[in-house]
Amino acid sequence: MNTRKAVSVCLLAGLAVSASAEVVAVPVAGRIAVFDLDAPGAVSSSAVRLDARPSAIRNGHIAALEGHGPRAFNGAWTLTDRVLIRATDAAAVARAIAGDGGSLEPVPGVHSWFAVRTGRVDTAIALASRLRGDPAISLAELDAAAPITTRDLPTDNYFNLQWHLYDTIFPGVDAHVVPVWNAGITGEGVTICIVESNGFQLDHPDLVANVNTDISPATTFPSSHMTSVAGIAAAARNGMGVVGTAYGAQLSQALIGASFQTAAALGLHNEINDVKNNSWGPIDDGNIDPPSPLVMDAIATGVAEGRGGLGEVYVWAGGNGAGAHDRVDYDPYASSRYTIAVGAIGDDEIQSDYSEPGSSLLVCAYSNGGSLGITSTNLNGGYTFSFGGTSAASPLTAGVVALMLQANPSLTWRDVQHILVDTARMVDPGDERWTPNGDGRMVNEAYGFGVVDASAAVALAQGWSTVAPETSLSTGVIPVNEAIPDGSADGVDRTVFVNDNVRLESVELIMNATTLYVGDLEITLTSPDGTASPLAVQRLNDSGDDLINTVFTSTRHWGELSGGTWTVHVADRRAGIEATWQDFELRFHGVAQGPGPCGPIDFAEPFGVLDLADLSGFVVAFLTGDPSADFAEPFGELTGEDITEFVAQFNQGCP
């Protein structure tokens, strides 16, 4: 490989330009763009367009890297030795190019446009740049061929069976990836790492072209499961077999095992791996599973340091245990605020019967569950036509994320979550579990914020501005030390008032309780806006004891403000085994929004001022039995004493 080609390969991998790169500013397509040229002295040259500024060029090199450094835009350009000129006076144009050795000719069929050939690309660039300053010429630029993509569909044998990518029977009942491909976005320059045990078939004919073996540990006995997952994410578009969601992306693998190996896998080559798909989790048996602190810290480190500080994007299968009354909320990895938990829907766009619900479920994606399975790669160079589970929904989402990252490589891990939430499409609208949260977003514990839509997500990603830095608040540990009524739905309620306002992305509840049968406990968190997050429900098959710093996470409050009264409800729904609630803590994560309410009586904006809006807010809360109106003993019951206490505090004003 010659030096110029080597530079271009590095650029396409998203690396900084080397000191030997020959870089020029070129007037093209109505603007000044920066290119790495292959053959500047030839009559035409292939070139890679960079996102650097012309001011950074010194003597054919990038003098200073700005921000994350120049990266390559998708696709190869061809620059020619022809200059295109727009002017009304042909004689003035002829005088302007006199001495440059080229002959002027009109552009056929287009008035006031002329062209001149110079014999060399670099000479044409220089002439176009000089002519831009001539007052007789309104526009001068290099004649260039920009990257294009054809609008045909993949010809891979089984693409017609990949309804989750392109449904010809029920148009639109798919991930909407074809319009993204037609725009030239295929995941190029992005690496998806498949994290699992055993590995996938690295030399599968439909995967091998996309596999980065340099960062993928070799395995002896690859798994069919992992091979199918890899195919859904990024099988090659090569005229055979199937096509991956992001068929232009690279694939790698990382192998899990005990905590040490799993943590290492989640941190493996996070400077190269952009998205890590995890189609695995604890056994789907309805038990609240304790996490490995090492593995949780590895995930936290990945989002803090991966992708050059933008954050590794972890996509996680939500789990297949709905039949065992399992919830995403019981899986510490899928329910982490750092990960994207994905549920499954079938070709009927209804929750697959195995797909776990949960307050931490962010989105859903297509899998089996209706009448059709998922077609993907399998071992021994073969294929499967019946893959499924949230194991399939997760890599479909990971592939969509890769498309988003090609469209905008500067997205942070939080940006990715924001875009998925903002563009998710509602399915099964008649399902009664769809409810608006306090920010007006429709959310459903079976579907999260809806099904992943690649076209909408990529379109939003292209013009996305990075969200403000994350702010986190904590209530601190709040002691309770109260026995929970045995076998009763009444349970125990505790409220906590939060003064500061954070525009929420996630809320964590850290629980401590003693019991010999944790499956008896029902736990619900309710926001000041009245949005309820069920975090645990009664299940007879969870015989574990005690909750010890157990973290439950909800994304249902996305976009709400943290300020106000939060309520935690804990009930022991089955008689016979006593339980005691020891303490809890709430942690809020999102974007700082300034001061919140000055106190529990400050019901409405503008916060910090008590007015008729606050009085109206109290009246509504009181009449609807809202615990936020409970100001006086006996607590747990709204009486005239609450009205008296509210009036007294209202008259005192904000402190």
Pairing relationship of beta strands 250-255 and 191-196 according to DSSP bridges: parallel
**Mean per-residue pLDDT for 208-229?**
95
pLDDT for 602 equals: 85
Please, which pLDDT band fits residue 229 given cuts at 50, 70 and 90?
A: very high
Q: What pLDDT was estimated at residue 344?
A: 98
Examine the domain organization and report whether 402 and 540 are in the same domain. no
Residue 546: its pLDDT value, please?
Answer: 94
More confident residue, 611 or 229: 229
563 found inside a domain: yes
Q: What pLDDT shows up at residue 653? A: 86
Claim to verify: residue 452 and residue 477 sit in the same structural domain: no
pLDDT-derived band at 14, boundaries 50, 70, 90: very low
Q: Report the domain count for the chain.
A: 4
Side-chain half-sphere of 41: how many Cα atoms within 13 Å?
A: 0
What is the per-residue DSSP string for 114-179?
EEEE-SSHHHHHHHHHHHTT-TT-SEEEEEEE------PPP--TTGGG-TTT--SSSTT-S---HH
pLDDT at 554 over 50: yes
- My answer on whether 321 and 432 are in the same domain is yes
Q: Dihedral of CA 44/45/46/50: which sign?
A: negative
Q: How confident is the model at residue 305 (pLDDT cuts 50, 70, 90)?
A: very high
Residue 556's alpha-carbon distances to 283, 408, 505, 508, 532, in angstroms, are 25, 26, 9, 11, 8
Domain boundary among 576, 596, 616: 596
- How confident is the model over 408-430, as a mean pLDDT? 97
Query: What CATH number is given to the structural domain containing 550?
Result: 2.60.120.260
H helical segments located in 241-285 = 259-266
- Would you say residue 152 lies in a domain? no
Here the tokens at position 292 are: 């490995």
User: Do the domain assignments include residue 150?
Assistant: no
pLDDT given at position 405: 97
Question: Which of the pair, 629 or 64, is modelled with greater confidence?
Answer: 629
DSSP alpha helices (H): ranges in 254-349?
259-266, 293-305
Overall average pLDDT of the 79-89 stretch: 93
pLDDT of 278 higher than 90: yes
Look at residues 428, 462, 496 and tell me which one is the last residue of a structural domain.
462
Q: How far apart are CA 285 and CA 385, in angstroms?
A: 27
- DSSP, collapsed to helix, strand or coil, labels residue 634 as coil
Rounded Cα distance between 642 and 631, Å, is 5
Mean pLDDT, residues 367-374 taken together? 96
Residue 331 lies in a domain: yes
Average per-residue pLDDT in the chain?
A: 91
pLDDT of 583 strictly over 80: yes
Domain that holds residue 569: 471-596
What is the distance between the alpha carbons of residues 545 and 382, in angstroms, rounded to a whole number?
46
- Residues with Cβ < 8 Å from 180, sequence gap 6 or more? 403, 454, 455, 458
* pLDDT of amino acid 69: 53
Cα gap 20→410, rounded to integer Å:
26
pLDDT tens-digit readout, 177-209 = 999 999 999 999 999 999 999 999 999 999 999
How deeply is 489 buried, as exposed, middle or buried, from its count of CB atoms within 10 A (0-12, 13-18, 19+)? Answer: exposed
Q: Which residue, of 100, 116, 145, is where some domain finishes?
A: 145
Write out pLDDT tens, residues 36-74.
998 999 999 999 888 778 888 877 777 644 344 566 776
Q: Please indicate, yes or no, if residue 14 is contained in any of the structural domains.
A: yes
pLDDT tens-digit series, residues 322-351: 999 999 999 999 999 999 999 999 999 999
Is residue 3 predicted with pLDDT exceeding 70?
no
Residue 251 identity = L
Do 141 and 280 lie in a common domain? Answer: no
Same domain, residue pair 510 and 432: no
Residues 220 and 315 in one domain: yes
Claim to verify: residue 196 and residue 317 sit in the same structural domain: yes
Rg over CA atoms, the chain: 29
pLDDT at residue 74, rounded to an integer: 65
In a domain, 265, yes or no: yes
Q: Tell me if 336 sits within 8 A of 410, measured CB to CB.
A: no
More confident: 611 or 452 = 452
What CA–CA distance (Å, rounded) separates 140 from 490? 77
Strand partners, 251: 192, 211
Q: Tell me, yes or no, whether 619 and 650 share the same domain.
A: yes
Report the first-to-last Cα separation within the chain, whole angstroms.
72
Within a domain: residue 59? yes
Q: What whole-number distance in Å separates Cα of residue 347 and Cα of residue 620?
A: 43
State pTM to two decimals. 0.77
Distance CA 3, CA 21 (A): 8
- The whole-number pLDDT of residue 634 equals 85
> Looking at the structure, do residues 249 and 347 belong to the same domain, yes or no?
yes
Q: Containing H/E element for 590?
A: strand 579-595
Is 441 a member of any domain? yes
pLDDT band at 21 (very low <50, low <70, confident <90, very high): very low
Judge if 586 and 608 occupy the same domain: no
CA distance 22 to 4: 8
The percentage of residues in the chain with a pLDDT greater than 70, rounded to a whole number, is 95
Same domain, yes or no, for 521 and 608? Answer: no
Report pLDDT digits (tens) over 100-134: 777 889 999 899 999 999 999 999 999 999 999 89
Q: At 239, which CATH number? A: 3.40.50.200
Residue 7's pLDDT band (cuts 50, 70, 90): very low
Same domain, 268 and 341: yes
What was the pLDDT predicted at 4? 30
